[in-house]
Amino acid sequence: MCVVHLEPEEFVSQVYKSHAKIDFRVYPMDNTIAVLVYCIRDGQTLYYMDRALASTQKQALIDEMNSDERHAELYRKVALDERLRFNGSCSPL
């Protein structure tokens, strides 16, 4: 199991390379905003687009966040979600 974040151009390139179906997931951020993340699966690797999308009203709050902190928070949530989906439980390593 591996989780990789990609920039939009890299994401589109990976979609064409792998012919994977584009899926989406919604993640709640710590500042109570839900964001939409596009992702594809290639084997045991999950690729997701490194851009958080929200409603027009909430986008300003996302833009105010430190981008490094936002990316780190989003990565943690995607990786945890993927681990829970992959293992089916949250048992310790």
Could you report the per-residue pLDDT of 19-63, keeping only the tens digit for each? 999 999 999 888 778 888 999 999 889 999 977 667 788 888 888
Query: What's the rounded Cα separation, in Å, for the pair 19 and 22?
Result: 9
The total number of residues written for the chain in this structure: 93
DSSP state of 53: B
pTM of the model: 0.80
Q: Give the mean pLDDT of the chain.
A: 86
Confidence of residue 90 (pLDDT cuts 50, 70, 90): low
Number of domains in the chain: 1
- Any domain includes 17: yes
- Any domain includes 79: yes
**Residue 24 region by backbone torsions, left for phi larger than 0, else alpha for psi between -120 and 50, else beta:** beta
Query: What's the rounded Cα separation, in Å, for the pair 58 and 15?
Result: 28
List the CATH number of the domain containing 64.
3.30.720
Tally helices (H) and strands (E) across the chain. 3, 4
Domain that holds residue 17: 2-87
- Any domain includes 83: yes
